Amino acid sequence: MTSESVLCERRGAALWITLCRPQAMNAITPDVVAGINAALDSAQDDPGIKAIVITGRGTAFCAGADLKFIRGKAAETSVAFTAFLQSVLAVMERLETFPRPVIAAVNGIALAGGLELVLCCDLVVAARSAKLGDAHVNYGLLPGGGASVRLPRKIGATRAKYLLYTGEFVAAEALLATGLINEVVDDGELVEAIDRIVGKLATKSSLVLGRLKALVDDGLEQPRATALRLELLAGQLHANSHDMKEGLAAFEQKRAPRFNGT
């Protein structure tokens, strides 16, 4: 499935979403938002897809919202500008809560809305040449895709404020210690590194992966005792699933499980 701005293709157990506006450093427009949404629609009910991978074509992952488009929308009406921001925020939220692991393959610079895309992903692998930062302040803008909320939760308030206040672009390797990035690899090894991760997920139950993601993300927002109760309730619900029964049967019979995502 392709659009003018987004390429969607199946690669093994992963659905790759590639932003395809290299001439504009893969900046976000309504067409990009629509393309990501369409790709997620295609993966929603496919248990064979164990991960979503999002990346960019060319030398950039994503440079954020298209400032030429923003300038035009801001000049039109505040209603039009707000509608665009709401659509961006909604697709970020959808990526963050999508019931499958979402992996960022950061092939180049990820700035402003590009950093916000990264923040919505469960796992992040970056090319060594990649740089990340929140550049909104450089253009007199405020974050519109959740950076002021997600970045402090990912790397802590002090580190987040530095990136937000200064607008600096930071080398991917320097962000490893913050926990924002899982792995940094040589530029030519990025796809191979992602394939290794997807290979580990390929044999897993899509139902389990989705429920694990929800438990971790929901648990972070709850008091410890509440999160533990939610985990117990999820386990009770999960006991009725095909995949749990199949996993236990496969263990007993010493064979590979045949999960179907239910």
Give the model confidence (pLDDT) of 73-83 as tens digits. Answer: 766 777 888 89
Categorize the per-residue pLDDT at 1 as very low, low, confident or very high, splitting at 50, 70 and 90: low
Categorize the per-residue pLDDT at 72 as very low, low, confident or very high, splitting at 50, 70 and 90: confident
Give the model confidence (pLDDT) of 136-152 as tens digits. Answer: 999 999 999 999 999 99
**CATH T-level fold of 6-202:** 2-enoyl-CoA Hydratase; Chain A, domain 1 (3.90.226)
Could you tell me which residues come within 8 angstroms of residue 183 by beta carbon, excluding any fewer than 6 positions away? 124, 125, 126, 176, 193
Residue 127 has pLDDT above 80, yes or no: yes
Cα 210 from Cα 136, distance rounded (Å): 32
Residue 188 has pLDDT above 70, yes or no: yes
Q: For 51-79, what is the mean pLDDT?
A: 88
Q: Indicate where the chain has its CATH 3.90.226.10 domain(s).
A: 6-202
